[in-house]
Structure 1
Amino acid sequence: MAANEVVSAALQDSWGDFWLFRFFLNAAGYASIMVPGFLLIQYFKRKNYLETGRGICFPVIKSCVFGSEAKSAHPDDVSLAARNETMESSTAQQILKLLFCAAGLQASYLTWGVLQERVMTRTYGATETDPGEKFKDSQFLVFMNRILAFTVAGLYCALTKQPRHGAPMYKYSFASLSNILSSWCQYEALKYISFPTQVLAKASKVIPVMLMGKLVSRKSYEYWEYLTAVLISVGVSMFLLSSAPTKHLSTVTTFSGVVLLAGYIVFDSFTSNWQDALFTYKMSPVQMMFGVNVFSCLFTMGSLLEQGALLESARFMARHSEFAAHAMLLSICSAFGQLFIFYTINQFGAAVFTIIMTLRQAFAILLSCLIYGHAITVVGGLGVAVVFMALFLRVYARSRMKKRSKKLPAGEVPVQKV
């Protein structure tokens, strides 16, 4: 019995190291594209190509390396004007629009969450004599999501009038790389932790987002933002400490899941802050979606081809039609979910969007427990309640601060009471 435990622990140790090996393998694939690109950008800048360049390649190089460098108002200002216009429409129309947005977001991301857990934690092709096989390459799922998002955003930009593109194209690559890595960590983490744990960890990313905002954008925060961040941390800790790791037999898998979740939160926090900085250029949210996904497709395809994983994943898809359907539906939910995000924020603002998505996270935990049988203790349930109470408190406090700032006379600064 002791020998079997030693062998099992050794296998789990090697599996725990496997994701780290794949991570560095993927990173090497991305570097093989980014490093030559970086050298080319530096070359064109040193040669002052914007002033001396000529020929048919000049417009492409100018757009990719220099852009127009024209900056515009932040998209929040644009969306605010759009929302002011929508206020003139009837209340019934506004309610219908809100229901449409809420239904679209809930349907897209609840389906996406259920399918994500199904693809990463269950086997395909299982029979009475064959245990089946699991799909292992998370990067292929990221590639499929990004290729469809790129297509949808491209078609939207082609069919609608979008503002003139201003940012140098290469600047999208930073958000693209961090977005790829955050998605990869998110998929891989499900091999080691439960979906409810992942959802709560994602809800707690408010804290690293604030830290990254201070580092990247030099932002300052209100006292209530720190208070809600602490409450979220307490609630997540209550949930994690009360959950018995029945499905994970060693600390190796638990540690791997924690590291992957930390990677997801760090990369995702950087992505949101970098995109926020990019929005100072003249662009629409769908153009941002298009630009980021251009590089995402390039990075993931290059890395998959270098590793020979693209054909292997395609063969797995050919062997299991159920997986092919799940992967396609996963990509559709991800792509159209992004469009619903942009539309909801444009019509109703970030506060309403945050409330809808917070409710979605709570529904996602409930669905996962019902479908896949995850058990939550009383203390764990209380921790979940604390997290979502803090999230709603955060939305309420932010809306109150905005209303208060609008009522103040021009030039007067709100004074915080201690």
Structure 2
Amino acid sequence: MMEAPASSFYLLLPLMVSAVSSDAGIPSVVLDSWTDFWLFRFFYNIAGYATIVIPGFLLIQYFRRRDYLETGHGICFPLVKSCVFGSELKSLHSEDASSSARNEATDPSTARQVLRLLFCAAGLQVSYLTWGVLQERVMTRTYGATDSSPGEKFKDSQFLVFMNRILAFTVAGLYCAVSKQPRHGAPMYKYSFASLSNILSSWCQYEALKFISFPTQVLAKASKVIPVMLMGKLVSSKSYEYWEYLTAVLISIGVSMFLLSNSTGKHPSTVTTFSGLVILAGYIVFDSFTSNWQDSLFKYKMSSVQMMFGVNLFSCLFTMGSLLEQGALFESVRFMARHPEFAVHAALLSVCSAFGQLFIFYTINRFGAAVFTIIMTLRQAFAILLSCLIYGHAVSLVGGLGVAVVFLALFLRVYARSRMKKRSRKAVLSEAPVQKV
């Protein structure tokens, strides 16, 4: 009952803006450009998510104040317990097992972990290199162009996010249904934090292509290793060695040198460039929070597919609610019906995103957020290298030097990590006789 007035206001907001602008004598062209402005769309989407988040937050507070875990009963009790409370006591007991599993996964004495890392890296590269090509095609090119018509561009980034998440949610749900999974312990609402930041980072990634070139976007992505590490300190209270910061800086510098040396030389207007950079800054912040929050959630006894299911469950709920409230869902479906080529591209985007998320969650669970970010940083360089091989772009001296810096940084990182682990093993062996006595 409480949501109806908020939803009605949300739906009437564009009409109210239109009425005010009409009375003020503002041309419709100016109004359309204003309502299509990225900042308006951003807060418009946020308003849609708020109609779900705020009632959910109030319900959680209500159940906690009433001590529903002790006093609740009835048919809804299992659902409320799972969503609001979870099995936190059991998850705390399982934390040691989860930590031991993580230690076993990072054990340098087994070659199996090297193969796992290579498998994760290859899966992420294939999924997201293909996804990047399709992303640029959908957001920057027109559909239905003919000799007499210039065609039309697809504008709703949120619908693409919804398409990606609905398939990922389906894949994860089917996998959990047919395979044995650990007993779930995390309160379901905790997935909503990663879900919101993931939705917003994906939206920023799509939306930025309207304002900046693809190489500029790739450059920004390649420089997010340090923000992820800083977010790790804030979210998970992680500590990093000095050589991790040094190699992260070298990787960012090397990839930046390579990408800048292969820029197309196109210079958008100052306003457009500033808007694009602001959107990319939002992408980096949201994406850094997502990976580190997911990493902290793995303290509960859960699999990467359960993580994928929980995050995408809320992502589908948020994006579908917002699209329905805006009336944009059916408009996007009509666009797909008018342009079957777009429907194919959107479906392929969803497939790449779904499989990419499987690799993301598995990689973060096994190797942590920083290693995942390094793999994805290298993916940016591989995307440009692939473009050079296919389209014959020349690599300048500065670009080649940048590639050398990246691989030098990776070599230093692997070398420093192996030395640290050898020292820790020697320390354990040296303490063993003392423990026996």
Asked if 1 retains the 8 angstrom alpha-carbon contact of 2:212 and 2:273, the reply is yes
- Residue of structure 1 in register with 2:40 after alignment: 21
> Are 1:159 and 2:207 an aligned pair?
no
Asked if 2 retains the 8 angstrom alpha-carbon contact of 1:108 and 1:334, the reply is yes
Counterpart among 288, 294, 298 of residue 313 in structure 2:
294
Question: Quick check: 339-348 or 356-365, which moved more?
Answer: 339-348
- Residue of structure 2 in register with 1:195 after alignment: 214
Over residues 47-100 of structure 1, what are the superposed CA-to-partner deviations in whole Å (9 max), with x where a residue is unaligned? 11111111000000000000000232375642554687x9598x9xx97x7876
> Are 1:272 and 2:291 an aligned pair?
yes
Asked if 2 retains the 8 angstrom alpha-carbon contact of 1:79 and 1:345, the reply is no
- Partner AA of 2:125 in structure 1: Q
- Partner AA of 1:258 in structure 2: L
- Residue of structure 2 in register with 1:64 after alignment: 83
Over residues 277-300 of structure 1, what are the superposed CA-to-partner deviations in whole Å (9 max), with x where a residue is unaligned? 111111111111111111000001
Asked if 2 retains the 8 angstrom alpha-carbon contact of 1:80 and 1:346, the reply is no
Counterpart among 330, 341, 344 of residue 349 in structure 2:
330
> Are 1:363 and 2:370 an aligned pair?
no
- Partner AA of 1:31 in structure 2: A
Shift of 1:362: 2.0
Percent of aligned pairs sharing the same letter: 82
Over residues 144-199 of structure 1, what are the superposed CA-to-partner deviations in whole Å (9 max), with x where a residue is unaligned? 11111111111111111111111110011001000110111111112222323322
Matched ranges for 1:379-394 at <5 A:
379=398, 382-383=401-402, 385-387=404-406, 389-391=408-410, 393-394=412-413
Unaligned runs of 5+ in 1: 1-9, 413-418
Ranked by relative contact order (alpha carbons within 8 Å, sequence separation 6 or more), the top structure is 1
Shift of 1:377: 5.8
> Are 1:315 and 2:334 an aligned pair?
yes
Matched ranges for 1:8-407 at <5 A:
18-69=37-88, 70-71=91-92, 72-73=94-95, 75=98, 77-81=100-104, 103-235=122-254, 238=257, 246-342=265-361, 357-368=376-387, 378-379=397-398, 382-383=401-402, 385-387=404-406, 389-391=408-410, 393-407=412-426
Shift of 1:25: 0.5
Shift of 1:227: 1.4
Q: CA RMSD in A?
A: 3.5
Question: Quick check: 45-54 or 225-234, which moved more?
Answer: 225-234
- Partner AA of 2:285 in structure 1: V
The alignment covers a number of residue pairs equal to 398
TM-score, normalised to structure 1, is: 0.83
Q: Given the superposition, is the C-alpha separation of residues 316 and 384 from structure 1 closer, same or farther in structure 2, using an over 3 Å criterion?
A: farther
Shift of 1:257: 1.5
- Residue of structure 1 in register with 2:7 after alignment: none
Is the partner of 1:125 in helix, strand or coil?
coil
Unaligned runs of 5+ in 2: 1-28, 432-437
Asked if 2 retains the 8 angstrom alpha-carbon contact of 1:16 and 1:256, the reply is no
Asked if 2 retains the 8 angstrom alpha-carbon contact of 1:200 and 1:236, the reply is yes
CA–CA separation in structure 2 for the residues paired with 1:297 and 1:280: 24
CA–CA separation in structure 2 for the residues paired with 1:324 and 1:170: 33
Is the partner of 1:325 in helix, strand or coil?
helix
Asked if 1 retains the 8 angstrom alpha-carbon contact of 2:304 and 2:358, the reply is no
CA–CA separation in structure 2 for the residues paired with 1:350 and 1:217: 11
Shift of 1:202: 1.6
CA–CA separation in structure 2 for the residues paired with 1:34 and 1:372: 47
- Partner AA of 1:78 in structure 2: A
Asked if 2 retains the 8 angstrom alpha-carbon contact of 1:232 and 1:386, the reply is yes
Asked if 2 retains the 8 angstrom alpha-carbon contact of 1:243 and 1:380, the reply is yes
- Partner AA of 1:214 in structure 2: K
Shift of 1:141: 0.7
Q: Given the superposition, is the C-alpha separation of residues 317 and 247 from structure 1 closer, same or farther in structure 2, using an over 3 Å criterion?
A: farther
